[in-house]
Structure 1
Amino acid sequence: PEVEDGRASIYESVVTNTSKEMMCYSDFPIPEGYPNFLHNTKMMEYYKQYAERFSLLKYIQFNTLVCSVKKHPNFSRTGQWEVTTEKDGKKETSIFDAVMVCNGHHTDPYYPLESFPAKVKLKRLCFVLTLKYINKNVKVKRSQSKVYLSTRRGCWVMSRVFDQGYPCDICFDTRFQTLLRNTLPTPIVTWLTEKKMNEWFDHAHYGLQPRDSTQFKEPLFNDELPSRIICGYVIVKPNLTEFTETSVKFNDGTIEENIDVVVFATGYRYSFPFLDESILKVENKIFLYKSVFPKNLEKATLGVVGLIQPLGPIMAASEMQARWITRVFKGLCKFPSQDEIQKDIELKQKILLTRYAFILSGFRVNLNLNCSLKKVK
C-alpha cells in the first residue's frame, strides 16, 4: 500500500533486531510465548496489549494532525503551549502545560541526488545504494538476477544469533561489556570489537570492513547477507560516483550497465514541521540537553523522546527519557542553568567528533541506562 508523506513505514518482512527480553517496557514484559525477535505484526500486538493493559486508548486522539506547537503568550511565566490540531478538516487550538515530541526520525527519506551527476534511464538489473540501511536489500534480491551493494565506509554486520545461540543484544549490551567499552583505552576497545565482529566472517574478505574501525558506527543486524554475498546474489561495490542514462559508475572506476532499480538506503532527514525554528532548529544535526531538552527555553516544558540511536533497544532508552521528562515537568528533578546546558551540549559535540570523526547527526549515543536510572530517581 502507498504510504502518505510524513509517515514512517516498514516493509512487510521486517523483524526486530533487538530481542524481546531487552526491548520490552519495564512494567509489561512481552508474552513468554512470543519469539525472541518479533515480526512487526507481533510487535504491533504487544503495543496494543500494552495500551489495553493501562487503559491508554481513551487518552489518544487517532487520525489527528498536529499543525503547530507554539509558546503561549505568557510562556515565560507558565511554560504553557498552544497546540493546534486538525481532524476531519476541522482545526482546534488547545492549551497544554507541557509537550512531549515523539514523532521519531524515520519519516522523511534523504536522497543525496545532488551528489551524483545523473541522467537516469534505467534498464534490467537491480542496484542497491546503501550506507547502513541495507536490510531491505535481502528482501529485494530474491526476485532479481543480481544486486549491487554500494557502501561508502563499510559496516560491521552482526547476526541476531550470538554466542551459544543467545540473542545478540543479551550478550553484547550487558553492563559489563558497556563498562569495558567505556573504561578501556580506545585502541584496546577497537581491537576487541574488530576481533569479535570478525568471528562470524572476515569483513575484509567480503568488502564490508569499516574504512576506519577506530570511528565506531552502530552495527547492522542481518543474518543472510554474508551467505548471499558468498553465493554471488549480492555483489559489494565501493562508493557510487555517477549515474548515466543506463549505468552507474563507482569510485574504483568500474561501471555497471543496464541497471533496472536504484534503492537509496541513505537514511532520513529530521523533520519537525509543527515547531518554530526558535524552539528546535533543524539542520540535519540537532543538539539537545541530554538528547532530550531544547536549549534556550525559559521553562523546561517541552521534551523530545526517541531522537537517539542507542547501542541497544530504543524502547528501553525512550522509557528512561520519558520517565525523566515527566519528573522534570513536575519539578521533581532539578533542571540546570543555561550555562550548564551549553557546556553539556559542547561536550557531546566533542565526543561525537572523537568517536565518529564528524558530526553527521546529533542523536547518535551509546546510552548508559544505569546513568539514566540514576537521573530518573
Structure 2
Amino acid sequence: IFDFVLVAVGHHASPHFPLSQFPGADKFQGRILHSHDYRDFKGFENKKVVVLGMGNSGGDIAVELSWHAKQVFLSTRRGSWVFNRVGPHGYPIDFLITTRYQNLLDWLIPKSITQKAVEKMLTEKLDHAHYGLKPEHGPFNQHPFVNDELPNRIIIGSIVIKSNIRSFKERSVVFDDGTEEEADVVIFATGFVFEFPFLHESIAHVNGTDAQLYKYMWPLSMKRNTLAIIGHVQVLGAVNPVSEMQCRWATRVFKGLNIVQLPSDREMIKDIDKKRKAMKRKYYNSQRHTIEVPHIDYMDEIALKIGVKPNLFSLFFTDYQLAKKIFYEISSAYQYRLVGAGRWEGARRAIMEQKQRMLHPLHTRPLPNKTIKDAPLKSDLSWIFIKICFFIFLILYTDRLCE
C-alpha cells in the first residue's frame, strides 16, 4: 500500500500494429515485425526490407539497414520534412531553436511567414519534391522528423521512398501507386498506443488519445491528488528536463507544499479542451499529435505553479550577462534552479558555462586561438526585427496612454 504513485513508464510501450488493415498480410511468407522489436541490423543482411512509417524510428531504422540490407524501401503515407541534427555553424539544432529568443520570434512573426521561411530553408538544403519526401502540410504541422543521413542514402539508391502499402502478396508488397516490390521483411514503424493497462478506468480516464489529464499529468475526478502521470508528453525539445519538472510539481502537491493548488475539475477540463483545440489547429490529424507540447512554454507553465520561473525582465537590470545567456542560449533546466524551491547555488555558473561544455568534446585538436571564432547564436536580421516590433509597440502604447 502506497500513499502516492508516480506513473513514469512513458508512452512507447504498447505497439500500434495495424496488420489487419492490410489485405494479404496473413499470406505474406516473409517476416513482419514492429519497430518496437527491432534491435539492430543483424539478421537483415542482404534482405529486401520495407519500413512502413516515416517517424523518427522509421527513418533511423531505414538508414541503419541501408548499410547492410540488399535494398530498403521506406513507405510513407504523407511524406515528411527532414530536419538536421547539426544546425548552422555546426551547433546541435536544439541548442539553437530551444531558446527564449527563438520563442519570442515565433510569437512575434506571423506563422505563415515563419512556415514559408523554414520551408524555403529546408528546400534549399534538400529539394523534398525531387526526393519523393514533400508532404502537403507545412514544416510546423508535424512532429519534427530529424535525420542527417536519409538524403545521402536516397541519392545513392540504398533507400527508395515509396507510397503507403496497399496490400501484401506471398513474397512482395503492393503500394498505393500500383507499384510492386519483392520483400523479405516488413517493419511496421507505426508508433504506439497510449495506454496504461494497470490503471483501470474506474480510477481515472487516462488511456487513449482522449485521456483526461490536466497539464498531461493530473487525472480528473480524483478525491485526492495522489496519482500523477510523468513523461506522457511528446516534447518539441528534450523530455528529461520536462519529466523532472513534472516530478518537482507532483511531489510538492503530494506534500501539500505547492504555492498554487490544483484547480477544480471544471477548470481542468477547460484547460484540456483549450490545448486540444490548439493542437488540432496546428498539426495534421494523427495519434501522436495529441500530446505535443512546446518545451519552453510547457516548462514555464509548471515553473509558475511551483514558483521557480526566472524573472528575465528583472535579471536584465540585476544580472545582464546571465539574462543574455538565458535569453539567447538553450533554455536548460538550470534556469529553474535560480529561484524558489530547489534553488541551487551553482545554477548561475552552470548556465554561464553551458555553451563551453557543449563545445568541449569537439575541441580534440589544439588550434591557434585566432582560428577559433565564436559563432553567433542569433541573426542580425531577426534582432533588427525585434527592435522594430519593440518600437512599434512603444509608439502604440504611448498613443493609448495619451488618449
TM-score by length of 2: 0.66
Aligned to 1:271: 195
Q: CA deviation at 1:147?
A: 0.6
Q: Which has the higher helix share?
A: 2
The aligned amino acid for 2:13 is: T
Give the distance between the partners of 1:211 and 1:194, measured in 2 at CA. Answer: 12
1:295 aligned to which of 220, 228, 235: 220
1:286 partnered with 2:194: no
1:335 partnered with 2:262: yes
2:174 aligned to which of 249, 259, 265: 249
2:214 counterpart SS class = coil
Aligned to 1:318: 243
Give the distance between the partners of 1:281 and 1:102, measured in 2 at CA. Answer: 13
- Kindly provide the CA deviation profile for residues 198-254 of structure 1, in whole angstroms up to 9, marking residues without a partner as x: 343122221112221176112122221110000110000111111111211111121
Aligned to 2:303: 373
1:327 counterpart SS class = helix
1:309 partnered with 2:234: yes
Give the distance between the partners of 1:197 and 1:303, measured in 2 at CA. Answer: 39
Aligned to 1:121: 29
1:160 partnered with 2:88: no
Aligned to 1:104: 10
**Distance change >3 Å, CA 370–CA 197, structure 1 → 2:** farther
Q: CA deviation at 1:197?
A: 2.8
Q: CA deviation at 1:111?
A: 0.9
2:89 counterpart SS class = helix
Matches within 5 A, 1:25-174: 94=1, 96-118=2-24, 119-122=27-30, 125-132=48-55, 133-134=57-58, 135-174=60-99
Aligned to 1:185: 110
The aligned amino acid for 2:305 is: K
Give the distance between the partners of 2:177 and 2:89, measured in 1 at CA. Answer: 40
1:177 counterpart SS class = helix
Give the distance between the partners of 1:116 and 1:292, measured in 2 at CA. Answer: 35
Give the distance between the partners of 2:178 and 2:63, measured in 1 at CA. Answer: 26
1:236 counterpart SS class = strand
Q: Show structure 2 runs of 5+ residues with no match.
A: 32-46, 308-403
**Distance change >3 Å, CA 210–CA 328, structure 1 → 2:** farther
**Distance change >3 Å, CA 199–CA 322, structure 1 → 2:** farther
Runs of 4+ in 1 over 6 A off after TM superposition: none
Preserved CA contact (<8 Å) 2:81 2:139 = no
Give the distance between the partners of 2:161 and 2:246, measured in 1 at CA. Answer: 38
Kindly, what percent of the aligned residue pairs are identical?
41
TM-score by length of 1: 0.70
Give the distance between the partners of 2:122 and 2:216, measured in 1 at CA. Answer: 28
Give the distance between the partners of 2:218 and 2:269, measured in 1 at CA. Answer: 11
The aligned amino acid for 1:349 is: R
Q: CA deviation at 1:281?
A: 4.0
Give the distance between the partners of 1:99 and 1:199, measured in 2 at CA. Answer: 49
Give the distance between the partners of 1:201 and 1:376, measured in 2 at CA. Answer: 44
Preserved CA contact (<8 Å) 1:110 1:266 = yes
Give the distance between the partners of 1:168 and 1:370, measured in 2 at CA. Answer: 21
Give the distance between the partners of 1:240 and 1:158, measured in 2 at CA. Answer: 25
Give the distance between the partners of 1:183 and 1:199, measured in 2 at CA. Answer: 25
Aligned to 2:352: none
1:213 counterpart SS class = coil
Give the distance between the partners of 2:151 and 2:70, measured in 1 at CA. Answer: 17
- Kindly provide the CA deviation profile for residues 334-363 of structure 1, in whole angstroms up to 9, marking residues without a partner as x: 110111001111111111211124362531
Q: Show structure 1 runs of 5+ residues with no match.
A: 1-93
Give the distance between the partners of 1:161 and 1:152, measured in 2 at CA. Answer: 27
Preserved CA contact (<8 Å) 1:214 1:355 = no
**Distance change >3 Å, CA 296–CA 360, structure 1 → 2:** same
Between Structure 1 and Structure 2, whose CA radius of gyration is higher? 2
Give the distance between the partners of 1:282 and 1:113, measured in 2 at CA. Answer: 22
Give the distance between the partners of 1:355 and 1:164, measured in 2 at CA. Answer: 30
Preserved CA contact (<8 Å) 1:186 1:214 = no
Give the distance between the partners of 1:359 and 1:240, measured in 2 at CA. Answer: 18
RMSD: 1.9
Give the distance between the partners of 2:175 and 2:136, measured in 1 at CA. Answer: 16
Give the distance between the partners of 2:20 and 2:101, measured in 1 at CA. Answer: 44
The aligned amino acid for 2:49 is: C
Matched pairs, number: 282
2:215 counterpart SS class = coil
Give the distance between the partners of 2:222 and 2:198, measured in 1 at CA. Answer: 17
The aligned amino acid for 1:128 is: V
